[in-house]
Structure 1
Amino acid sequence: MKIKTRFAPSPTGYLHLGGARTALYSWLFAHNTGGKFVLRIDDTDLERSTQPAIEAIMDSMTWLNLDWDEGPYVQTTRFDRYNTVIENMLSKGTAYKCYCSKERLETLREAQIALGEKPCYDRRCRYSYVHNHHPSDEPYVVRFSNPPDGSVIFHDLIRGPIEFKNKELDDLIIRRTDGSPTYNLCVVIDDFDMAITHVIRGEDHINNTPRQINILKALGAPVPDYAHVSMILGADGCKLSKRHGAVGIMQYRDDGILPEALLNYLLRLGWSHGDQEIFSVDEMKQLFSLTAVSKSSSTFNTKKLLWYNHYYINHLPAEYVATHLMWHIEQQVINTSTGPKLAELVQILGKSCKTLKDMAVRCRYFYEDFCEFDVEAANNHLRPLAAPVLQAVRVKLENIVEWTPASVHGAIEQTAAELQIGMGQIGMPLRVAVTGAGKSPALDVTIHAIGQSRSLERIAFALGFIDQQSSRTI
């Protein structure tokens, strides 16, 4: 049997972490078994589905590099197919027309609740002769003729055997009065037509599974295997939501997270392989199995995600990380035509930056000159006593023939030795002079990356600042 999985999000909002993890698990299972992965857009909720949401889902899947073998299929383009199936079900008696008004259904519901019963349709239109007394233009819905007795038992590949009594299942509506088919019917036909063998989805779909299995059996269609993944919770133990800071997948891109880091984090958010934490995509494909997916809910931890991101910033090829960093550089409107290559910048700032956004925000002085210094740093380090130190080190830097981090370091050391001062007495004024602030990576690497001519110009600018401040004091 050729394994075939699918990811079928509803485009009613952004793709969130739970959906992305489901997509990842489905994608990995298909790859692990040599199968195929299908992308499908389940947009039967016509009022809430939007084109921007569809585009956001596609962008998220593309950014995460979760490529698909088939699709994307879109349910709203398949309404003719669904309605053909519904008409066949009506003729075979596996579905029926229901003319009950909203008022009657609401009265029925209230009465059942008052008696402590589970609200459900009483199948009035299924068993009566009332169809003959309704004009052809009277609105109706189509309901599925759910088996009244017995049970639906399926073996969940994560949770084990699950059973539902048929008497607990309603005769669900499979076509609305406006002629549009409903979610559970469309999903079943799609899975059948697309030969889906394994359905991996969130545990919130468990209650849909027995209904869908019964429809599949009524159609004489094979029943796929099901695996329901547990929820992702916030730190307070509640389902992850906007109030926990949950955002769409592309927001993580915007915040400076690498796709490899997010994939690795999502993989481990409910799946394990011994004590291993870091997995390449090839390792994920090779090692993933549904039997190792936890039945328990997982808790989202921003610090752990940042840990993964910091790791990947420093362990992926710098040239590759630079391709993602470029987007953030553009968002900060930084001109990188003069200054270090972005791959070099990744190596310089990688150890101190946990996100690419932070790296982009902090790198401006490598590429653009500044017209003022950080006030606190200047007050502490650009004092009159620093002027002769800066003058001396500027001469040393100007005389360097081969501009390397080692030669820059040597010039700073020589200046300190000649002036008989500690490295701190030269390092901090020099750092503020060339970066405009009191913090930077190693000074020799930073000055080398900024470049010889610009470093000399900035030291001269700092000397002018000191002289100006001294004049004001006098």
Structure 2
Amino acid sequence: MLRFAPSLTGDMNVNDLRVALFNFIVSKKLNEELLIRIEDIDKERFEEGKDKEVLELLNLFSIDYTRVLNQSSNFKYYQKLAMQLMGQKKAFACFCSDEKLEELKQDAIKNNKPIVYDGFCEKLSDEAVLEVNAAFTVRIKRPNDNIKFDDLIKGTLDYSSDDVDSFVILTHDKNPTSNYACAIDDMLYDISFVIDTEDKILNTPKQIHIRNSLGYSKKIDYLHLPKIEVQEEISIKSLIEEGFLPAAIANYLVLLGNKTPKDIFTLEEAIEWFDIKNISLDNPTFDIEKLKIINKKHLILIDELRLSKLLGFADEDIGKLAKLFLEEVSTLKQIKEKIDSIFSKKLVIKGFEKEVSKIINCLQHSPYFENLNELQEFIKNNTGLNEESLSKPLYYVLTGLNSGPNLNDIYPLIKNYLGEIVRC
């Protein structure tokens, strides 16, 4: 089983979604289940409603999962196993104050030494612990030996005892810390493959140490993805709002830092040829212009009827009309602005005030015309406008734009909406 544990302290970003996509793809390739883990124990950092928002986004990107786990439902296991570790002398009560710990930290920085716990409370006898009437945290004892594990793209990684340290597994209020809860969850749900970003890599030896201390020996495969470099944080929600298709965003995030047989593909296609060995060790850079190119290509490929529905219609002709604007725009939002301009109330354009008024009035009383030439002849005959004075204002009246695709291409796709286009 694989698991995806989204951050619930803010909007899902491009790195979060990339991790979700890779977990999904690998789970499909291995025919394994995918679990979504909701880390809702830290109530101060947990943003209400973010879990639902994440699940909605995963569904939008067609990322299938078997079940959703709320960490709060496993609270009893976290405390029970912490007590087991304490009973086996593999964990201990720590009464050190925040001020004392900060003092240790500053002293280590001053002397250019590793920031590690000094082990003071580890040496306390059981009798001394019972005599202390103060709140305490629970720390797991540091490992005696280095913690080694294999990362599927980074190779063998080796962490010293100081890297792992005697870290806190239960806080003063006896809530589990993130690393401790994650390690227990991976045991409880038989996780076999962990995919995350490289900034979480130091969590791995700590989680391995917890499981080792509990006698859990199952091998877990690890893959830590190089983080996407962005100038500023980019939320997936904002990309959707800007009119990028989920299929295009997924395409781009799988393509980034990855050797693929082609640039434009679906998630289903990616599952077929995906290979971890093709992932680069370098940090890829997010390029919004590249995403626009990919998005435009997906818009070209999309079914016209489906495209029209995304724009609020249910007409294949509107989908075809939308694609005419792809010469100059690249997102759904930009296309919608073009379509909206066609159906918006027409004002006037400078230099053609009278012409626009005459054309609108004429079209409000015109019969249905199959082709543009017949319509233009009708307007000329009823307004006295000639070819030269008709062209530009007619384009504006029918599109709300001053320029764009050829009117001969546009008219067949809007002729059935003419009454709505020239309404008062």
TM-score in terms of structure 1 length = 0.79
Partner Cα distance (1:218, 1:185) in 2:
12
Partner Cα distance (1:291, 1:452) in 2:
54
1:118-129 to 2 correspondences below 5 Å = 118-129=114-125
Moved more, 174-183 or 212-221: 212-221
The counterpart of 2:134, out of the listed 135, 138, 142, is 138
Say if 2:195 is the partner of 1:220.
no
1:188-227 to 2 correspondences below 5 Å = 188-221=183-216, 222-227=218-223
CA contact (8 A) 2:147 2:158 kept: yes
Question: CA offsets, 1:69-110, max 9 Å, x none?
Answer: 12x111122111111111111111221111222232233223
Cα distance change, pair 125–399 in 1 and its aligned pair in 2 (3 A): closer
Cα distance change, pair 137–230 in 1 and its aligned pair in 2 (3 A): same
1:471 match: none
Question: CA offsets, 1:430-456, max 9 Å, x none?
Answer: 212333431343313433343368369
The counterpart of 1:102, out of the listed 95, 98, 102, is 98
Structure 2: which amino acid aligns with 1:345? I
RMSD: 3.0
Structure 2: which amino acid aligns with 1:271? N
Q: Shift of residue 45 of structure 1? A: 2.8
SS of the residue aligned with 1:96? strand
CA contact (8 A) 2:243 2:334 kept: yes
Q: Shift of residue 175 of structure 1? A: 0.2
Cα distance change, pair 147–365 in 1 and its aligned pair in 2 (3 A): closer
Question: CA offsets, 1:384-423, max 9 Å, x none?
Answer: 7x999x69x979x9576xx54xx3256659999xxxx997
1:195-344 to 2 correspondences below 5 Å = 195-221=190-216, 222-234=218-230, 240=231, 244=232, 246-274=233-261, 276-326=262-312, 341-344=314-317
Say if 2:165 is the partner of 1:170.
yes
Structure 1: which amino acid aligns with 2:310? H
Q: Shift of residue 135 of structure 1? A: 3.1
The counterpart of 1:428, out of the listed 388, 392, 404, is 392
1:447 match: 411
Structure 2: which amino acid aligns with 1:289? D
Q: Shift of residue 158 of structure 1? A: 1.4
Partner Cα distance (1:268, 1:256) in 2:
20
Partner Cα distance (1:313, 1:304) in 2:
14
CA contact (8 A) 2:21 2:254 kept: yes
The counterpart of 1:156, out of the listed 146, 151, 154, is 151
Partner Cα distance (2:307, 2:390) in 1:
34
Question: CA offsets, 1:160-187, max 9 Å, x none?
Answer: 1111112332100000111111111100
Structure 1, unmatched stretches of 5+, are: 235-239, 327-335, 462-474
CA contact (8 A) 2:93 2:129 kept: no
Partner Cα distance (2:417, 2:225) in 1:
58
Partner Cα distance (1:457, 1:9) in 2:
46
1:364 match: 340
Partner Cα distance (1:25, 1:436) in 2:
44
Partner Cα distance (1:309, 1:43) in 2:
34
1:345 match: 318
1:361-400 to 2 correspondences below 5 Å = 361-368=337-344, 370-373=345-348, 378-381=349-352
CA contact (8 A) 1:5 1:30 kept: yes
Partner Cα distance (1:387, 1:98) in 2:
83
Alignment coverage as a number of residue pairs: 415
CA contact (8 A) 1:367 1:450 kept: no
Identity %: 24
Q: Shift of residue 60 of structure 1? A: 1.6
SS of the residue aligned with 1:40? strand
Structure 2: which amino acid aligns with 1:431? Y
Moved more, 186-195 or 41-50: 41-50
CA contact (8 A) 2:226 2:281 kept: yes
Structure 2: which amino acid aligns with 1:309? N
Cα distance change, pair 362–137 in 1 and its aligned pair in 2 (3 A): same
Partner Cα distance (2:194, 2:69) in 1:
16
Partner Cα distance (2:125, 2:284) in 1:
52
Say if 2:341 is the partner of 1:355.
no
Question: CA offsets, 1:301-349, max 9 Å, x none?
Answer: 11111111111111011222333333xxxxxxxxx6xxxx444222212
SS of the residue aligned with 1:78? helix
SS of the residue aligned with 2:96? coil
CA contact (8 A) 1:427 1:443 kept: no
TM-score in terms of structure 2 length = 0.88
Cα distance change, pair 93–363 in 1 and its aligned pair in 2 (3 A): same
Q: Shift of residue 140 of structure 1? A: 0.9
Partner Cα distance (1:422, 1:295) in 2:
66
Cα distance change, pair 8–186 in 1 and its aligned pair in 2 (3 A): same
Q: Shift of residue 31 of structure 1? A: 0.6
Question: CA offsets, 1:197-227, max 9 Å, x none?
Answer: 1100000111111111111111122231110
Question: CA offsets, 1:346-374, max 9 Å, x none?
Answer: 22122423111122222124445x2512x
SS of the residue aligned with 1:227? strand
